[in-house]
Every structure is written in C-alpha cells, then in structure tokens.
Amino acid sequence: MKFEITDIQLFDYCDYEQINDEGDCEKKYSFSANIAINNTFMIQLGTDGEFSIPTSEEARWNDARMQDLMFEEQDADDIAGSLNVGKTRDSLIDDFGAEIMFPENAPN
C-alpha cells in the first residue's frame, strides 16, 4: 500500500508544572498531531517523539474499519519513515506546512 499524507491536525498545549516544594511553577509546552494517511486512517505523534496508530475506539479519521486494520497490521514508525515525517512539532510545520489548530497556546 502506498501512503500519502492528506491532512495534519497539530495541537499545541501549555501547562504549568510545579518545580519545587515552594510552589514555583514553570510553563511546559507540549504538542500532539493527528496525521491523516490516504484520507482514511491516522497516525499520531506527541511531544515524546513516539508515533502510534490508535484503534478506531480511541480516534479515527474517516474509516473505522481501515483504522483498526492499520492498528493491527502496520507499524506507525514504518509509515512515518516511509513518508519522511520528523518527530518534532517544527518538522511538521517546516516540512509539511502544518498549521497549529489553536495558535493562542503556541510557544513564542
């Protein structure tokens, strides 16, 4: 099967994390991406740099049957590698023109 990226949903998140017992906090940024393949199923990527294929009960693009089939039979890293998808937020923006869904949460 030939794979093609047909859409990317990129989400930025900003949270505060306590860094000491005095209650001091710092901003922590993270992202997640839904990468649609062949407009039928998706793979996902997060801040941890790990690709995954969710089941249709967790998330799906357009075709629940295809989502579950890909979950069972394919490896997300292999699919991403065949498409030269980097493991960072910036690579999705730079290499594929992904736009942040909620830019008000994006790191400056």
**Residue range 41-68, pLDDT digits in tens:** 999 999 999 999 999 999 888 899 999 9
Read off the pLDDT band of 14 (50, 70, 90).
confident
- Name the residue range of residue 34's domain: 5-105
Q: Is 22 left (phi over 0), alpha (psi -120 to 50) or beta?
A: alpha
Characterize 42-68 residue by residue with b for buried, 16 or more Cβ atoms within 10 angstroms of its Cβ, and e for exposed. bbbbebeeebbbbebeeebbeeeebbb
Domain count for the chain, please give it.
Answer: 1
User: What's the pLDDT at 15?
Assistant: 80
**Residue range 63-94, pLDDT digits in tens:** 999 999 999 999 999 999 999 999 999 999 99
